[in-house]
A and B are shown apart, each in its own frame.
Chain A
């Protein structure tokens, strides 16, 4: 239903505002933007208070349309003898009792008018008063179906359905022809790539690797230097890269480190909301924008490490190694054209193949491992204030808690979509726990100064969840999806190719092409005549 009504009783001062409150809760759930909601709440409250103060009883009816909310308030009461006079600020006929409670300031009707886009009032003495007002809703585009940077090779798909159950946003479907990704739901997190054993899902790799001679500065993730087993240490790898033409190698971790410092400073000095979420992993940022819009204000307004590296280094001389679909998307802006100068995850593993023989030859005779320096008091302090979680399963739990306001004891939350952080990204060659443990032994000597960059564009909620451009139709579709979900067996088995029964119901109601029938019930796409 897109009309809601409330009954209001005259003189019931204990419950004045109950209708405005009910309306607020309902419209907030439907995604009415905050500014429109605020104006609506003020106007509705004033109208409601007028009934309580002046009339015997009345109703408030709100109708949500595609582009505005219409509110009608009708009361049975004394009516208004001179409407023009009543509209003047400060004019009031309220009783002293109402005034003692803070009502009757003569601001009610002007306040409704000021906060609404259209306003009308008519009144008949001895009968009652009708007030009509509306609040415009800013145009909200139905989500542009965004692409996904996960690459698919349908011929390799064995329909094992593993990927279906690891996708944190329910973006995957297995159709007859192979996997399909609902672009508007995909956050490029690579969870499905990790689950796919046949190579049907993979990270992007379409462009050619640029010859190193043209660009001699290479940015790689730390996992690259720690991904060659126990024998070959990071210095041997740097030597090999030098031989391959990359005279200078920078680590993406430098930008990760400065982002942490900047985000911590932001959390201490500027942040309005605790805890602050670090934008360190672009897939997590995508997830927040899609599923946790209430947390957008918690994101620290900085570029992710990979964007910052791109920003800081001269485009012409640097090659940036990209570890995962999310980094790829954030560099390409999800456009289909690949960044010509950057190394994609597949290239990193090819580069690893090229480095391996050289590095083994040049293998250094065990450089003594520097003893880890004791962390300074400041570093320890900041550590206690930082919550870190990796892997989509844990990330979702942490974001749920943050949304409930239960993590305010942390200053900063760093979340990574891949298990084990960026060491677990598709480009990693070694198991993340092993690579990161090896890296911890040697990382001290590699840190170089880097810059953190403020974002110029704000984080934005993805409006991808709306089912129809028109709010009324969206509500109707939602009801149909709920009904159909209840009829399905609730096994969430994935045999139909959708991860849950609810997802199948949505596919069926929205008539997504390629939807298969439920194997347990009769629910399925309507057969073509």
Chain B
């Protein structure tokens, strides 16, 4: 599913503008351990995490992850937003916690997708 559509459907705000092209999301991985995000991240996966440190953006950059969804409506530090803009990573902010956010993502992408929540 196209990323901006997906963001709209789950009620997430887009904090850093999407790149000009279409970003197709085929899978979701949710987790709070860097090692897991590193292993599961790839070019068509949306990562969902409670981590808001700058380190998580290094992971998206290294693994070519197009987008990262932060949780609980907690606005991240401006530093994180700047870094996301620099690396062309789309930052989403969900007003909900991980459980509900993932529930909505699962409803959008369905069991047929590679949603690994």
A positions within 8 Å CB-CB of B: 13-14, 16-18, 20-21, 24, 38, 41-42, 45-46, 49, 101-103, 105, 107-108, 111, 272, 274, 405-406, 408-409
Contact = CB atoms under 8 A, between A and B. Distances in A.
B78 interface: no
Given A17-B61, A102-B53, 8 more contacts: A17-B55, A21-B62, A42-B63, A101-B53, A102-B37, A102-B55, A102-B56, A105-B34
B116 interface: no
B51 interface: yes
B32 A102 contact: yes
Contacts of B9: none
Question: Which of B24, B34, B39, B44 has the most A CB atoms < 10 Å from its CB?
Answer: B34
Contacts of B36: 105, 107
Contacts of B20: 405-406, 408-409
Contacts of B42: 38
B63 A41 contact: yes
A126 to B, nearest CB: 27
Q: Which 8 A-B pairs have the closest CB atoms?
A: A408-B21, A17-B58, A107-B35, A105-B33, A102-B34, A102-B51, A101-B53, A105-B35
A42 B62 CA distance: 8
Nearest to B50: A102
Interface in B19-49: 19-22, 24, 32-39, 42, 44, 49
B74 interface: no
Interface of B: 19-22, 24, 32-39, 42, 44, 49, 51, 53-56, 58-59, 61-63
A13 B53 contact: yes
A46 B35 CA distance: 7
A21 B54 contact: no
A386 B22 CA distance: 16
B21 A274 contact: yes
A101 B55 contact: yes
A406 B42 CA distance: 22
B33 to A, nearest CB: 4
A111 B44 contact: no
A334 B37 CA distance: 46
A45 B19 CA distance: 26
B22 A274 contact: yes
A105 B35 CA distance: 7
Nearest to A41: B62
Contacts of B63: 38, 41-42
Contacts of B39: 42, 111
5 contacts: A41-B62, A46-B38, A102-B37, A102-B55, A408-B21
Question: Which of B24, B59, B61 has the most A CB atoms < 10 Å from its CB?
Answer: B59
Contacts of B37: 102
Nearest to B42: A38
B115 to A, nearest CB: 17
Nearest to B62: A41
A413 to B, nearest CB: 13
Contacts of A20: 58, 62
A102 to B, nearest CB: 4
Contacts of A103: 34, 55
A386 B38 CA distance: 37
Contacts of B51: 101-102
A24 B59 CA distance: 12
Contacts of B58: 16-18, 20-21, 45
Nearest to A272: B24
B55 A108 contact: no
Contacts of B55: 13, 16-17, 101-103
Given A101-B53, A102-B32, A42 B24 contact: no
Nearest to A42: B38
Contacts of B21: 274, 405, 408
